[in-house]
Amino acid sequence: MSQIIISPSVLSMDYSKMKEQVDALNASKAEWMHFDVMDGHFVPNITFGPDILKGFRKMTDMVLDVHLMVSDPEKYAPIFVDAGADMVTFHVEALDNDLNRISNLLKVLHEKGVKAGVVIKPKTDVAFIEPILDQVDMVLVMTVEPGFGGQSFMKDMMSKVTWLKNKRDEKGYSYRIEVDGGINGSTYHTAIEAGSDTLVAGSYVFKGDIVEQVASLLR
């Protein structure tokens, strides 16, 4: 099994203490930092633009894991690469589940020299992405409806995680399987047992001592 990576979501950060909290993340065992980009259109919430990502880039060497919840990822994904993203994932639903457009955007991102992957919402079937699995560095399975932190983990999404894991074994692929939404000190077991290796955690990490909260997800 791949080593577990924790990707704390800065969506749940206290923005009056940004520097202090980034320092705590830098000191923690988290290797990635998850950056939720929301455009107020694909999801009913608005978060960060590329200039904010540039600011985080200056404060950390962690892998910047950028989750685009925007209606026009073909336009914005390259902009976030230029702002410092290391891994960019975009929603297949934003491209009308069109495999040609999905494949093309993955190529664009790879040509720009970053890792790239796709995200599926809870109601989206996983099997239809099979033809592009040879192109992805990661698949992100949403375990809440995208838009807000602090929602409850949808355990029934674990069948998608296990399907992805079995497909990876069968085909010899090496993509990571990330889960996002409702990960806490108990649900992380379920996610790992199902086959995920990359865990986004927002409210759980920032509700207490950041270093300790991250460590608890690796035990």
Q: Give buried/exposed letters for 133-172 (b at 16+ CB in 10 A, else e).
A: bebbbbbbbbbbebbbbeeebbeebbebbebbbebbeeee
**Considering the complex, what minimum distance in angstroms separates the CB of residue 121 from ligand DX5?**
10
Q: Does 11 bind ligand DX5 (CB under 6 A)?
A: yes
Candidate ranges 48-56, 74-82, 90-98, 178-186; the one touching ligand DX5 (CB under 6 A) = 178-186
From edge to edge, which strands make up the β-sheet containing 32-38? 5-8, 198-201, 176-180, 138-142, 115-120, 87-91, 63-69, 32-38
Of 84-92, 95-103, 171-179, 196-204, the window that binds ligand DX5 (rule: CB under 6 A) is 196-204
Dist CA 184 CA 150 (whole Å): 10
Q: Is 121 in the site for Zn ion (CB under 5 A)?
A: no
State which of residues 5, 9, 80, 105 lies at the interface with ligand DX5 (CB under 6 A).
Answer: 9
With CB cut-offs between 5 and 8 Å by kind, which of ligand DX5, Zn ion, none does residue 84 bind?
none
Q: Contacts with Zn ion in 151-180 (CB under 5 A)?
A: 180
Minimum CB distance to Zn ion smaller for 36 or for 197: 36
Residues within window 34-93 making contact with ligand DX5, judged by CB under 6 A: 34, 36, 67
**124 φ/ψ sector (left φ>0, alpha ψ -120 to 50, else beta):** beta
* 200 belongs to the binding site for ligand DX5 (CB under 6 A): yes
How many helices (H) and strands (E) would you count in the chain? 8, 8
Active site residues: 36, 180
The one of ligand DX5, Zn ion, none whose footprint includes residue 181, by CB under 5 to 8 A per kind, is: ligand DX5
Those residues whose C-beta lies under 8 Å from the C-beta of residue 75, and which sit 6 or more positions away, are none
What type of residue sits at position 28?
S
Site residues (vs ligand DX5, CB under 6 A): 9, 11-12, 34, 36, 67, 144, 146-147, 149-151, 180-183, 200-204
Site residues (vs Zn ion, CB under 5 A): 36, 67, 180
